Structure 1
Amino acid sequence: MAVLGERLRELRRRSFVGRDSEVSLFRTALAEPGLIFVHGAGGVGKSALLEVFGEVAEAAGRPVVRVDVRHLRLAPGAMPAVAGGDRPVLLIDTYELLADSDDWVREEYLPSLPGDVLVVIAGRQAPRPQWRADPAWRDLMRVVALDNLSPDDGRRYLTVQQVPPEWHGRLLAISHGHPLALSMLVDAVRRGAEPRTLADLPDVVSALLTQAVDAAPSPRHRAVLEICAHAPVTTEELLHEVIGADAGELFAWLRALPFVDEGPRGLYPHDIARDALDADLRWRAPGRYADLQSRVAAAMLARIRASVDEREQVQMLVDRIVLASARSKSETCTAPPPTMQAYADRLRDGDRDPIIAMTSAWQGEQQATLAAYWMTRQPAAFWVFRSLSGEPRGYAACLELTGAELDEDPGAAAMWRYAHDNGAPRAGERVRAWRFFLDRDHGQFSSPSVTLFSACQTLDILIRGDNSAWTLVGAYADAAQWRRTLADLGFQPAPGAEYTVGDRRFPVFAHDWRRVDVTEWLRFVRARQTGAPVHLTEPGNGKAVLSEPEFAQAVRDALRDLHAPERIRDNPLLRSRVVRQHERGDRPSVDTLRDLFATGAGVLRPDLGVLVDRTFLHPATTQERIAQQLHLSFNTYRRHRDRAVAHLTEWLWAREVGQRPTME
């Protein structure tokens, strides 16, 4: 009668798929002694692979000695003796537990084995540099980095497990092909679960953390892991910005983890480890999750703004968009196409003809003629998305609308009219309009150009948003396809701004930055990505968009009523853009306004600054007495007072519309 162990081995053998190259390597290695060193993250299938190696060796008539270090008493004498003469195979699993004895294993134990032995070591860490530094071991050792299952092998596994084909794509996307995760997802589906992300299965997350991630010796190390899960790439500089001291030591620890890889711009965890950490923290400590997300995003934003290389800025945003979208609960923001084979650049000589050709092919001759018109009028408005060879594979254009030259383009004219009818730009404010977008091969459907376009749009908001009144998006030809995505990004339909070019109708979406500034917009986008309830400010909700004369009157009224709470609370200046941009926490708006007045008075000419301070900020007596104290006639005092108020108003207005004046 077969024992239970044989039945278990048979069931495991049926479930084993893939790893063809690794098994082929082992079969070849059976012909001669040596060492195969297999390494990979927890749960990636090292033990299953060693089990298959053992069966292959036994089928070839080779004696097999199996050692799982978890079951040993860790002492030099605990490792088994191996008899020679029959070309034995020694399989050592969970080798990471022998890290402290690695020198002994390499220098004493393995050299003491019979000369005809084939050894396979499997552990989470790659072999230490000392293995490769020894020319003898370098010659005898083959290193195998075990990764997740390929999509084809993942589908084979799911088929063997009798999972319905309609589930295959979702389970592979959630698991990233990680064998342990895939196996646990199969079990969850069999129990009736319908997961969309790992966050839907806390028990799976817990198991994955134990297998793949639970390596943090302290809460501070765990925090570093969580930062690494949130950031597209992690650098020592980023750690220092987010957590402060010990960043160097913690970065070195993070760098040595088996599920963390190095790239040209920093460290990044394996996808399944990233997702498990993210889902666990979101479920376990939602408040801390939101705070960490905000701090990492702020540090990333500072890096983007500090960079002077547009291509680098776009790539950082691409990384952020791909990561945030992958964990988004909004269907319209998920799975952006990768951009590894494309990058964003500016318009160059030679781009004109390819852009006209792709536009004509997808959107007709009239649209192509308009693209050519704007390439001549505003060449700096164009982004070109290139393949690695440098040829244009797509493009987008964000026009600076001024009211001039709009008769040539019904799209630009329609967007300009909408902005004027719904909150005309004030002096110094800009109207930005995304008028064109295409991918040469995919039009406006899923492509690397779509992801690059999103990154360019975001960069335009972050870098040029201070003095923008409006950003309008009129580049998409399919309202149904893009309405929800743009709503999740804070852009609402602009009724009446739609326009027709040739036989195509283009919808328009709009955002008024004076009512919802970049800071509030960033909070909104982060909340929508995580599924948190949040709504953007709607027009007419009390946030003021004042004309310059209205703004000046509001400043005069606010100075007069600064110490009269019952009157100043109705002043529209408290709801203006400049005040909202400087608000912190729950601090009253009137206190923010008072601080702005004080800052503005400080940059005035000293005599005018003193006059503002004594008259409005810290009034101790009547204006007549103030004039006497300053040795001025009352008429002269009033003339200087009005001049000071005018300069202060000018200073505030410049900040209201995003300018940066110098004051005398």
Structure 2
Amino acid sequence: MTSLGRTVRELQRRAFTGRDEEVALFRDALGAPGVLFVHGVGGVGKSALLDVFADVAAEKGFEPVRVDARHLALGRAALPAPAGDVLLIDTYELLEPVDDWVRDQYLPSLPASCLVVIAGRRGPGPRWRADPAWRALMRVVALGNLSAEEGSAYLTTQDVPGETHDRLLKISRGHPLTLSLMVDAVRRGAAPRTLSDLPDVVGALLAQMLDEVPSARHRTALEVCALLLVTTEDLLRSMVGGDAGELFAWLRTQAFVDESPYGLYPHDVVRDAITADLRWRDPGRYADLYRRKLAVFHDQVRATADERERLDLVVLTVVLNGARSPFAALASLPPTMGAHADGLRDGDRSPIVAMTAEWQGSAQAELVAHWLRRRPGDFRVFRTETGEPRGYGACLDLTEADLGVDPGTDAMWGCAAKFGPPRAGERVRAWRFFLDRDHGQRPSPSLTLFVAWQMLDILLVGADTAWSFVGAFGDGELWAPAMESLDFWAATEAGYEVGGARFPVFAHDWRRTGITTYTDLLHTRQLGAPARPAGQDLDEPVLSEPEFTDAVRSALRTLHTPELLRSNPLLRSRLVRQHERAGRTPAEILRDLLDETAATLKPDLGVLIERTFLRPIGVQERVANSLHLSFNTYRRHRDKAVAQLTELLWARETG
């Protein structure tokens, strides 16, 4: 009679998919001495793979011995002395306290023909890798997630409808345990869009993948590591405070944390599970850590002097966040695969014009050639590892002198003129061109670099930037949702045609929604909370210099009359919005700015502004007397002081 165990094993064998390379490697290794060291994050399928190895060995006439460290009493006598030629050791991380004994005494005592498979969460330690004998006998197998084809094959064996495969694979990232738990959830009627929709699955994953967390501070370090792109000790310190050295050292020991030249990062599925659990368990704490993460990343980028290093940091963020994005345009961004951005070099112009003519026609190619002559410094060339141009982009700093040649830049400038003309000294940034030589505007390393370049430009946006326009993409339907999420509204007035092709344009006015408010909006949208639509800020005033001058004079007169000050347009000006901070009203911020700016005037003028407007001591005649000035002289000095104060404030308003 067939045993229950035999039935269970047969069902497990039918469900097993993929791992062809690993199984082939094991087949080839049978019959010869050596060690296969299999490692991977919890739930990645190490135990299931050892089951298959045992079946393969039995089919070939071997008698495999299977040992699971969870079922052993830890010690030197814990492991058997098999007479056979195949030994499979599972959950090796529990044997790490006696790792030296296993390597130096136990394994050498086995039969000369024995093939040993060790499976654990961590790869072999430095003493394994430093020993030339073990280096010769050992093969290391890093077990990753299932490929899309393997994952889809597994879902097919579980009778999961084909139309749900892509969504489930994207959520699970091909992690076998996550995929298996999601199959169970789907069978119970769930239709998850993200991992956060399945808190029970998240809880089960964390129980499987994480060891015990020693303290609340260690838990915070884990959450920070999941939220940050990469974690260094100084970044961790900026997030959790205190001495972060111990926490950083602990993170480095975790099997699911890898190291890169930029710092530590967790495996994707662990990152997703920790983040989803925190967001479900403590949404307020998640919101606080996320906000601090944005500030830390902003500071990190600004502190990086080299442009290529800055862009590399943003590329990592774009790829990581893109993989989790609900927007198709961002979710499809691939790694850059060694491609990098560079300035224009001799010999670049011809291939740039040629690829433009091939993908977008001769009219667009002629315009590219025009801008290459006029603004070569506004171009970035996306190069292969060998330096060959594989794509390019251009962000043009427009002026009125540029008009009349390019319908694209003319349309963008016209939109700015209609909704808020740039004031003296303010910049209009126009993302006008983008192409990849081999893929056009489809996903490519060049597209990832172009998007990262735009993100970097936003992070470093100066106080002198009035407008940013994105008019380089041909597929408006694809890019509109992503641009809306980034607070760029569809500026239909700025759309244009070149060579019969239509290019949509997306716009953002930094004077109306400055970087502080902008960051808050992104944060709000990331949390899924209601946020005002992009473009709704067009009702906010953009003051001309005469209007600004009148508003400053009015503010000084009504500074101590709240009901009148409340209607002053300065309260909604860029100057005030740039200095928004918690607990301060716009009127209080304006008073602070007036105080700070008056303090920079010459002492006699600063005192005059203070006694007349900021902290008035009475009617102006009394102020004149206190300063030992005739009233006419006082008025002349007062007007001079107000004019200089206004000039300084205007300089801050326009960057």
TM range (shorter): over 0.9
Deviations 1:398-456 (A, max 9, x none): 22221113112222222212211221111111111122222222222333322222212
Assess if the C-alpha contact under 8 Å between 1:65 and 1:90 holds in 2: yes
Moved more, 5-14 or 68-77: 68-77
Letter in 1 for 2:634: Y
Structure 2 counterpart SS, 1:407: coil
Deviations 1:6-35 (A, max 9, x none): 111111112222323333333344323443
Letter in 2 for 1:38: V
2:261 corresponding residue in structure 1: 264
1:82 corresponding residue in structure 2: 81
- Quick one: distance in 1 between partners of 2:490 and 2:4? 65
- Quick one: distance in 1 between partners of 2:387 and 2:237? 37
1:9 corresponding residue in structure 2: 9
- Quick one: distance in 1 between partners of 2:575 and 2:176? 53
Relative to structure 1, is the Cα distance of residues 498 and 21 closer, same or farther in structure 2, using a 3 angstrom cutoff? closer
2:445 corresponding residue in structure 1: 448
Moved more, 259-268 or 333-342: 333-342
Alignment counterpart, residue 587 of structure 1, candidates 584, 587, 593: 584
Assess if the C-alpha contact under 8 Å between 1:401 and 1:433 holds in 2: yes
- Quick one: distance in 1 between partners of 2:301 and 2:468? 20
- Quick one: distance in 2 between partners of 1:387 and 1:534? 40
Relative to structure 1, is the Cα distance of residues 503 and 34 closer, same or farther in structure 2, using a 3 angstrom cutoff? closer
Q: Give structure 1 stretches of 5+ with no counterpart.
A: 659-664
Assess if the C-alpha contact under 8 Å between 1:255 and 1:267 holds in 2: yes
Assess if the C-alpha contact under 8 Å between 1:325 and 1:529 holds in 2: no
- Quick one: distance in 2 between partners of 1:405 and 1:33? 74
- Quick one: distance in 2 between partners of 1:63 and 1:419? 78
1:161 corresponding residue in structure 2: 158
- Quick one: distance in 2 between partners of 1:409 and 1:541? 26
Residues matched between the structures, number: 655
Alignment counterpart, residue 288 of structure 1, candidates 285, 292, 307: 285
Assess if the C-alpha contact under 8 Å between 1:82 and 1:88 holds in 2: no
1:521 maps to 2:510? no
Assess if the C-alpha contact under 8 Å between 2:251 and 2:257 holds in 1: yes
Query: Deviation at 1:80?
Result: 4.1
1:122 maps to 2:123? no
- Quick one: distance in 1 between partners of 2:316 and 2:82? 53
TM-score, length of structure 2 as denominator length: 0.94
1:617 maps to 2:614? yes
Structure 1 counterpart SS, 2:226: helix
1:628 maps to 2:625? yes
Relative to structure 1, is the Cα distance of residues 37 and 502 closer, same or farther in structure 2, using a 3 angstrom cutoff? closer
Alignment counterpart, residue 178 of structure 2, candidates 156, 181, 187: 181
Letter in 1 for 2:366: T
1:19 corresponding residue in structure 2: 19
Assess if the C-alpha contact under 8 Å between 1:36 and 1:120 holds in 2: yes
Assess if the C-alpha contact under 8 Å between 1:579 and 1:592 holds in 2: yes
2:651 corresponding residue in structure 1: 654
- Quick one: distance in 2 between partners of 1:432 and 1:133? 54
Query: Deviation at 1:542?
Result: 5.7
Alignment counterpart, residue 498 of structure 1, candidates 495, 498, 507: 495
Assess if the C-alpha contact under 8 Å between 2:516 and 2:580 holds in 1: no
2:50 corresponding residue in structure 1: 50
Query: Deviation at 1:562?
Result: 1.4
- Quick one: distance in 1 between partners of 2:74 and 2:537? 72
Query: Deviation at 1:501?
Result: 2.0
Moved more, 321-330 or 562-571: 321-330
Query: Deviation at 1:654?
Result: 0.9
Alignment counterpart, residue 603 of structure 2, candidates 596, 601, 606: 606
Assess if the C-alpha contact under 8 Å between 2:513 and 2:537 holds in 1: no
Moved more, 522-531 or 572-581: 522-531
Relative to structure 1, is the Cα distance of residues 133 and 374 closer, same or farther in structure 2, using a 3 angstrom cutoff? closer
1:662 corresponding residue in structure 2: none
- Quick one: distance in 2 between partners of 1:566 and 1:333? 47
Letter in 2 for 1:71: H
Spell out structure 1 runs of 4+ moving beyond 6 A. Answer: none
Alignment counterpart, residue 421 of structure 1, candidates 412, 418, 421: 418
Letter in 2 for 1:607: D
Relative to structure 1, is the Cα distance of residues 30 and 575 closer, same or farther in structure 2, using a 3 angstrom cutoff? same
Assess if the C-alpha contact under 8 Å between 2:468 and 2:509 holds in 1: yes
1:565 corresponding residue in structure 2: 562
- Quick one: distance in 2 between partners of 1:459 and 1:60? 58
Deviations 1:574-608 (A, max 9, x none): 11111111121142111111111111122112222
Deviations 1:233-286 (A, max 9, x none): 222222122222232222222122111112222222111111111211122222
- Quick one: distance in 2 between partners of 1:453 and 1:421? 28
Assess if the C-alpha contact under 8 Å between 2:488 and 2:506 holds in 1: yes
Deviations 1:494-521 (A, max 9, x none): 2332322222232222211111112222
Alignment counterpart, residue 103 of structure 1, candidates 96, 100, 104: 100
- Quick one: distance in 2 between partners of 1:504 and 1:90? 65
- Quick one: distance in 2 between partners of 1:507 and 1:624? 60
Alignment counterpart, residue 304 of structure 2, candidates 304, 307, 324: 307
Query: Deviation at 1:655?
Result: 1.0
Structure 2 counterpart SS, 1:400: strand
- Quick one: distance in 1 between partners of 2:107 and 2:476? 67
- Quick one: distance in 1 between partners of 2:129 and 2:429? 57
Alignment counterpart, residue 209 of structure 2, candidates 203, 209, 212: 212
Alignment counterpart, residue 641 of structure 2, candidates 636, 644, 662: 644
1:357 corresponding residue in structure 2: 354
2:38 corresponding residue in structure 1: 38
- Quick one: distance in 1 between partners of 2:93 and 2:537? 63
- Quick one: distance in 2 between partners of 1:196 and 1:520? 29
Alignment counterpart, residue 199 of structure 2, candidates 190, 197, 202: 202
Relative to structure 1, is the Cα distance of residues 119 and 405 closer, same or farther in structure 2, using a 3 angstrom cutoff? closer
Structure 1 counterpart SS, 2:21: helix
Assess if the C-alpha contact under 8 Å between 1:329 and 1:530 holds in 2: no
- Quick one: distance in 2 between partners of 1:417 and 1:117? 78
1:661 corresponding residue in structure 2: none
1:142 corresponding residue in structure 2: 139
CA RMSD of aligned residues (A): 2.3
1:469 maps to 2:469? no
Relative to structure 1, is the Cα distance of residues 391 and 480 closer, same or farther in structure 2, using a 3 angstrom cutoff? same
- Quick one: distance in 1 between partners of 2:151 and 2:282? 32
- Quick one: distance in 2 between partners of 1:168 and 1:540? 40
1:403 corresponding residue in structure 2: 400
Letter in 2 for 1:49: L
Query: Deviation at 1:657?
Result: 0.8
Assess if the C-alpha contact under 8 Å between 1:90 and 1:120 holds in 2: yes
Structure 2 counterpart SS, 1:32: coil
1:225 maps to 2:222? yes
Moved more, 308-317 or 58-67: 58-67
Relative to structure 1, is the Cα distance of residues 433 and 179 closer, same or farther in structure 2, using a 3 angstrom cutoff? same
Query: Deviation at 1:42?
Result: 0.4
Assess if the C-alpha contact under 8 Å between 1:328 and 1:531 holds in 2: no
1:131 corresponding residue in structure 2: 128
Relative to structure 1, is the Cα distance of residues 537 and 624 closer, same or farther in structure 2, using a 3 angstrom cutoff? farther
Q: Give structure 2 stretches of 5+ with no counterpart.
A: none
Relative to structure 1, is the Cα distance of residues 418 and 33 closer, same or farther in structure 2, using a 3 angstrom cutoff? closer
- Quick one: distance in 2 between partners of 1:120 and 1:539? 62
Relative to structure 1, is the Cα distance of residues 27 and 405 closer, same or farther in structure 2, using a 3 angstrom cutoff? closer
2:548 corresponding residue in structure 1: 551
1:325 corresponding residue in structure 2: 322
Relative to structure 1, is the Cα distance of residues 195 and 335 closer, same or farther in structure 2, using a 3 angstrom cutoff? farther
Query: Deviation at 1:372?
Result: 0.6
Structure 2 counterpart SS, 1:322: helix
Assess if the C-alpha contact under 8 Å between 1:328 and 1:529 holds in 2: no
Assess if the C-alpha contact under 8 Å between 1:419 and 1:470 holds in 2: yes
- Quick one: distance in 2 between partners of 1:401 and 1:80? 74
Query: Deviation at 1:319?
Result: 1.6
Query: Deviation at 1:540?
Result: 6.9
Structure 2 counterpart SS, 1:394: strand
